[in-house]
Chain A
């Protein structure tokens, strides 16, 4: 007889297999796994793709898609689908793109000097893995330290510290997890890595697993990325000679942005609702099934092979204000949206230059996804890096740069972001669950009535969301509104009921 709950991690995959949450599927899966019915139901109903499996058309409501008319498209509204370079985008029943506004975006031209080199050929010589074996654990950690690689998922935490922490734990059963649950509005860089350079990422994972002595490698991949998953699986099969000795596990996401948060992601692998855990303890100490767990973002891992082959110092020197190159995702009112590998610390003007220049008159930009809020064009020459942007009340985050021209009503833009956070709040803690609702309600009521009194107490609510939330989602969810109000006050004054403003004046 199985231990109580030992089959819990299968619950979400079985629900997907069964075509989503239904009374019948839940009863059957509860019987099969020994997990209580209510737990199976509660877990399944947390995830968009499991609770609403039969949607014909999913219309992306991400900021960029909204800029390009998503509101006029028919279908079920869903959170950002990570296809901002093709905005506006609609997915069909099988989660393939069935409608898009422009062709697939560009990437940096092939350049073998670039560590990730998205435009180059996806070589599979696994020289980095070989080099890692020569260097040994200490050598790998030293190389990472020399590279100064900061986590590319958004927090920018030094990668070598994470790796070192896991490798120093007394518990020897350890796991490596790849966070491929990309979902920050405006962000689609991991997607491009998985499609264009899957070997890079897999090699990075193999190096991580061998360095920390992982029992298994989990790739938690966004549910709306079936093509990306297939690409990785293809690459894994190709590189069997290099990777076959490791225990690889693919785990599907099921439509919950919060699962990009590392502890929520762990809960999700374990078959539960994706609700973030309290930290500490950090996953490096107690992660998946309570074991030390190294979790890195796709891009972070994709940087590893180059660091080992050509040295950490060389990688560090590629950066401008901070070490290395960075994938900047550019979308919105620019000439050639796409993913561009640039020295870390370039400014907006340089990023947009790589992306074909501004279209129209730029008025605002979001430097790193919804969580980074909005900045005015006066910040166009501020280095887009991890340490500098916080001084401007923003952050680099996932480097999903969205440019907004002067036709955009910033109150409307703030509402789009607010709706995203409200939809994606896990609901666990009140500051976030209630704060995101209050923020969205206030903007909606303001837009409906034109009365700025609806923003009363928003400063206190935003403060509490930042202070009181369990995880990063709640902490930043009021930022888009707060920064828009700060930098574009003219869009938040009294206005005729139902009116739209553009460029600071009535449309």
Chain B
């Protein structure tokens, strides 16, 4: 199964693996082929036409995302013909896309590949706008928004919803220029089988699908911190997008790089409001004689904790105390909690809620 074989891409001999597409082989060789509709988790559809290349012996340009690499194949990804194809195709996409004041494709925080591919090109055609007669869809779901005028109909979202999420809440509807992303009866997502995982947002290359909660405008000062989701036991990796010291959005790392393969669920992706919630505890609280709590400093509170626990330990022994650790806290914290119980109080009375 270790079979690799050579093929030639842009004059360079590249080793491809069995079953690999030209796009994948090129990508591993560092040859970037532009594409909108390719997502490694999905069956290639070849629909966006952005990744067309010349394959020797083929009269027509072929989609590299779907074209299987073959031994000895000669592929060209950059030529006058391909450049012209890309320029005209991108011009056509742009004519059907909402534009900013500068006539560029909208700039959005989650990235807009159409903008990335067009912003520095000087060979685009100034085409008249296409007014595709798409119908909109009202949607009162709290998380997922859709702007059909930023949609290039690559169908990654519908294929993701079907092939990966296995939900099929959305689908291409209508045809021709009327084609758009819709639901049965064009109802809002809450009225469908949608599980609000937001995977459609993550796979959308142009930001047509976007988070209602997050500011769609890009922020150059944004930082991204890789962490682990704090909900269930799958251990999804998350990229926390941080702006002004707050979590602005949560995204999955790229497909194929982590255990969650680019996927998240509704909780992992959207349920982060608790982090900055008003009701978060901000200072230690100490119960007063009248039974009410008052705010306290850390030294005060720690002193009260130490004396309260010590008193019982010294009088009744450590086994009169119980230490309840948490599967919500980190491994290090669980280690320290049991060490506290065992080393500082001499008891093995340490447990946590979920033994499963």
Contact = CB atoms under 8 A, between A and B. Distances in A.
Interface of A: 23, 26-27, 30, 36-43, 45-46, 51, 256, 273, 278, 422-431, 433-438, 441-442, 445, 454, 457, 460-461, 463-464, 467-470
B172 A468 contact: no
A425 B175 contact: yes
Contacts of A461: 88, 92, 125, 127
B47 to A, nearest CB: 5
A37, A428, A445 pick with most chain B CB within 10 angstroms: A428
A274 B166 CA distance: 22
A463 B174 CA distance: 26
B193 interface: yes
A41 B191 CA distance: 14
Given A256-B175, A434-B130, A41 B182 contact: yes
B144 interface: no
Contacts of A39: 162, 168, 171
A26 B184 contact: yes
A411 B281 CA distance: 74
B63 A457 contact: no
A430 B92 contact: yes
A42 B178 CA distance: 12
B176 interface: yes
Given A39-B162, A273-B175, 13 more contacts: A36-B162, A36-B167, A37-B184, A38-B193, A43-B171, A45-B173, A278-B44, A428-B179, A434-B95, A435-B92, A436-B177, A457-B127, A460-B91
B74 interface: no
A460 B95 contact: no
B256 to A, nearest CB: 23
Contacts of A429: 47-49
A278 B44 CA distance: 10
B207 interface: no
B84, B85, B184, B192 pick with most chain A CB within 10 angstroms: B184
15 contacts: A23-B184, A36-B168, A38-B168, A38-B170, A38-B192, A45-B182, A423-B176, A429-B48, A430-B49, A430-B92, A433-B177, A434-B92, A437-B96, A460-B84, A468-B52
B175 A38 contact: no
A433 B170 contact: no
A30 B184 contact: yes
B169 interface: yes
Contacts of B44: 278
B73 interface: no
Main secondary structure of the interface of B (DSSP, over half): loop
Interface in B52-93: 52, 60-61, 63, 66, 81, 84-85, 88-89, 91-93
B178 A427 contact: yes
Interface residues of B, number: 52
Contact of A463 (B48, B88, B131): B88
Contacts of A38: 168-171, 182-184, 192-193
Contact of A441 (B84, B128, B193): B128
A436 B167 CA distance: 33
Given A427-B176, A429-B49, A42 B182 contact: yes
Contacts of A40: 184
A41 B92 contact: no
A189 to B, nearest CB: 26
A2 to B, nearest CB: 16
A457 B125 contact: yes
Contacts of B170: 38
Given A23-B184, A36-B168, A470-B46, A434 B93 contact: yes
A43 B131 CA distance: 24
Contacts of B66: 278
B128 A433 contact: no
Given A467-B61, A468-B61, A430 B93 contact: yes
B209 interface: no
Nearest to A27: B184
Interface string B239-251: 0000000000000
B25 interface: no
Nearest to A43: B171
Nearest to A421: B176
